Chain A
Amino acid sequence: MSNLHHDDHSHDNHNHGHHKETFISKYVFSMDHKMIAKQFLITGIIMGTLGMAMSLIFRLQLAYPDMKFPFLESILGQWGKDGKLDPNFYLALITIHGTIMVFYVLTAGLSGTFSNLLIPLQVGARDMASPFMNMLSYWFFFLSSVVLIISLFVEGGPASAGWTVYPPLSALPKAVPGSGTGMTLWLVAMILFIASALLGGINYITTVLNMRTKGMKMTRLPLTIWAFLLTAVLGLLSFPVLMGGSLLLIFDRSFGTSFYLADIPADLAGGIERVGGSPILWQHLFWFLGHPEVYIILLPALGITSEVIATNARKPIFGYRAMIGSILAIAVLSFIVWGHHMFMTGMNPFLGSVFMLGTLIIAVPSAVKTFNYLATLWQGNLRLTPAMMFAIGLVSFFITGGLTGIWLGNAALDINLHDTYFVVAHFHLVMGSAAIFGMMSGIYHWYPKMFRRKMNETLGQVHFWLTLVSAYCVFFPMHFMGLAGVPRRYYANSAYDQFNVFIDMNQFVTIAALLGGAAQLIFLWNFFSSMRNGKRSEQNPWESNTLEWTAPVEHIHGNWPGEIPTVYRWAYDYSKPGSEQDFIPQNVPDEGQVDEQVEPNPTHFEPSKTKAPVAARETVMFSLVKRWLGFAK
């Protein structure tokens, strides 16, 4: 029976170009995972540019609350009358900025791009399990983006309840201008988005589990694939909950129910008195997605970083199995800590301490990852390509942003810090900047795989340094404002003396943000012009081990012209003693070794067959720790 199933669905000879390709089938409704990856990426970049432009507009407002900017009237119309940003539109901007950055750029744009590009190529499959569903996944995402953008133009403006759309602002269409059509469209966009995420996720998981090539054990998968796999699992289990929650929200908005509303008189609520519900219910349902969502954002970036750092340090990743273990631990823990966003809802202090404990425990696997990155870099033969710089940048942000997470996870401290700029600083470093750096790293690294050319290296370095400096200058000062109590989501702080003292700091931040924005223009130029003018890439430009570089530079359906390569080793045989090159691709047979496939294999985790390659160069302590933890490879 299983034999029969397998034959039937192995994708060996599917899509082998029997049909004629038209422009539409190649570039628009493409079912090729490499093209879909590019579609995700470019849509993500467009949305990212939009989200960034929004942040610059509201940064101007925060820094110069009393100044007039005539250009605002020309681009925003009624929302920028006389060059002043409308207060309601300020809220709308931060809401859409957050939504775009979190979902459209760093979920679809990041995981969508790289899961699509790398899963089939790195596990050795001809394409995704279901190329058709994969195509649908992109088009749902596209539609969702269109709906969100349309919502910018409706009367009353787009949703303004914050990216977390808490009721009652989101549940009562008359609450604020953006609560009307704008909010409805936000929900429509989100439901399309969830459909896209589920279609994609089902595909990613299935492909990783079912379609690995011969010899590609789970313990030989590159860490990118582990990260994408767990990301998909997180999305698959948490997005449905947001779907359920949104369904109830739609009923509250349009059909007079009151799941999220308590004690709202009839004249405020469309003629029906709303009693008996609770806005806290929404918060639970939202954050059950919301917290895993930050890992949905971060894990792919971490996976990319693992790959880029190992390749460019010419060293095996330190603690491969510990890395897998920590991804698994993070994935499991991320489902039981959502309450740390709700310490201030009057939750039972005992429950609060449970959520606090869980949150602090996540610091452990996170630290494991950080130290493993550092240990991989340690005494490596570093090639500081732009991709490598951004990967190291990620590690830096992961530390600076992660440390404040420990503050915020503390229920008692959070009473002071909740809803202040401290939170804004924290999540922009650990989720915003870190993930954007991971994404950039991935773009520079796999650009040759996507577009057959390399991006300009010098521009890449300039882009990196400007972005790094400006990101720290933008987000670091926000910690101090937050500690002094400056609340987030405020239109103008000049009304309060104790907050207005930060006006100089705010101006500094805004100038840094403008600089950061300018740096992204360099990136955009580099990205788009390299498609035509970049240096042609050789097949394996970074001398990397993973399977995608064994595929030809030219894209073909089915990825490999002949048979799919068989895998004989893990992805991290860099600088192996005794080998001529400092890298050994995964498809190179291991000579002094019995054929893997017939060798008895008592556990999933094969015992180490070779000594840790660079152990000699590592400090005694590292190798001792490695031995204690038992993950010498």
Chain B
Amino acid sequence: MSNTTALTTEKKSIWGGGKSPFSVSYGKLMMWIFLLSDAFTFSSLLVAYGFVRHTYPSPVKNELIKPMQHLEEGFVEQMQHVGYFTDDKWPLPELVFNHFPFIHGMHLPLFFVSLMTFILIFSSVTMVLAVEAGHRMAKKEVATYMIWTILGGLAFLGCQAWEWTTFITEGARLDSNPFGPMAFAALFFIVTGFHGFHVFSGVVLNVIIYLNVLKGTYEKRGHYEMVEKVGLYWHFVDLVWVFVFTFFYLI
């Protein structure tokens, strides 16, 4: 085991070989590197968003309706009439995403997506707690927090499904969009869909890890590093959402 000997005798140069310069296992390093490259995938989509968005004039400022005001039937058509939703203008997100489950006829701009964002961030917090419990080798706690994280992920996916359904019922498609340029809807579906796919994979990974925690795999192994690795992925997905959210809903 030349590697271990190196570790004990050599302290000077961390890049001297015989050990990891960052003091991380190869698996964790791989996860970091993967996330870096995945960040570039998302960047390419967001750059494409920026590129397309840039070719349209900015949305008109909303002076028609205030939060909590009554939302009439046919709101979309009305907006089209008054020139808020036209093919040559980027629509104002707060006028597009203004519904909330079980509440009808009220203008609630971006309320629902804020809730989604909160859920996802909450699940990141529980993930941190799971990792921390892993450091203490507290199997029960790891399991509990993993469950919360999984539930958070599922809740987010559920919300996204509702958001998509609403958007689609109102007429948005990949190739047509009552709210404005068709690229708006197409980009929305592709980018949030790609992110949702990441969340979904994350939930699957979390479930696998959760089952292994229950089986005691990591207890036997002596450490909960796998939890840390999925944790990194989960935080990344969370971080990406912050960008997606900013691009699609705020600007």
Contacts and interface: CB of A to CB of B under 8 A. Distances in A.
Interface of A: 1-10, 12-13, 123-124, 129-130, 133, 198, 201-203, 205-207, 209-218, 220, 236-241, 243-245, 247-248, 251, 255-259, 272, 275-278, 281, 284-285, 288, 563-564, 566-567, 596-601, 604
B52 A281 contact: yes
A251 B190 contact: yes
Interface of B: 1-7, 9-10, 12-13, 15-30, 33-34, 36-38, 40-45, 47-48, 51-52, 55, 174-175, 181-183, 186, 190, 194, 221-223, 225
A198 B182 contact: no
Contacts of B45: 244, 247-248
B20 A259 contact: no
Contacts of A599: 12
Contacts of A285: 44, 47-48
A245 B45 CA distance: 7
Give the most central of A198, A220, A241: most B CB within 10 Å.
A241
B33 A205 contact: yes
Given A5-B23, A9-B26, A256-B175, A217 B15 contact: yes
Contacts of B55: 276, 278
Nearest to B33: A202
26 contacts: A1-B23, A9-B27, A124-B17, A129-B29, A198-B37, A203-B30, A206-B26, A206-B30, A209-B21, A210-B22, A212-B18, A213-B2, A215-B17, A237-B36, A241-B40, A241-B43, A241-B44, A243-B44, A257-B182, A272-B175, A276-B52, A278-B51, A281-B52, A563-B2, A564-B2, A597-B12
Contacts of A256: 174-175
Given A9-B25, A206-B29, 16 more contacts: A4-B222, A209-B22, A213-B18, A214-B16, A216-B16, A236-B33, A237-B37, A239-B37, A240-B40, A244-B43, A245-B44, A257-B190, A259-B183, A284-B51, A563-B2, A601-B16
Nearest to A241: B44
A236 B3 contact: no
B190 A240 contact: no
B44 A240 contact: yes
Contacts of A563: 2
A594 to B, nearest CB: 12
B26 A277 contact: no
Contacts, number: 198
B44 A2 contact: no
B2 to A, nearest CB: 5
A604 B15 contact: yes
Given A130-B26, A251-B190, A604-B15, A12 B2 contact: yes
A258 B51 contact: no
A259 B17 contact: no
B2 A240 contact: no
A598 B221 CA distance: 33
A257 B3 contact: no
A217 B33 contact: no
A216 B17 contact: yes
Contacts of B186: 251, 257-259
Contact of A214 (B18, B30, B41, B174): B18
A209 B28 CA distance: 12
Given A247-B190, A278-B51, A600-B12, A213 B174 contact: no
B16 A257 contact: no
A202 B30 contact: yes
Given A209-B29, A237-B40, A244 B4 contact: no
A44 B16 CA distance: 35
Contacts of B22: 209-210
Contacts of B43: 241, 244
A6 B30 contact: no
A281 B9 CA distance: 54
The 4 A-B residue pairs with the shortest CB-CB distance in the complex, in nearest-first order: A244-B44, A256-B175, A214-B18, A216-B17
B174 A255 contact: yes
B41 A130 contact: no
Nearest to B175: A256
B16 A215 contact: yes
B174 A251 contact: yes
Contacts of B19: 6
B182 to A, nearest CB: 7
Contacts of B225: 5
Nearest to A560: B2
Contacts of B190: 247-248, 251, 257
Contacts of B222: 4, 8
Given A6-B3, A217-B15, A241-B43, A209 B20 contact: yes
A129 B30 contact: yes
Of A6, A251, A275, A566, most buried by chain B (CB within 10 Å of CB) is A6
A278 B4 CA distance: 56
B20 A597 contact: no
B12 to A, nearest CB: 5
A494 to B, nearest CB: 41
Contacts of A215: 16-18
Most buried by B among A207, A238, A277, A567: A277
Given A210-B20, A601-B16, A604-B15, A257 B174 contact: yes
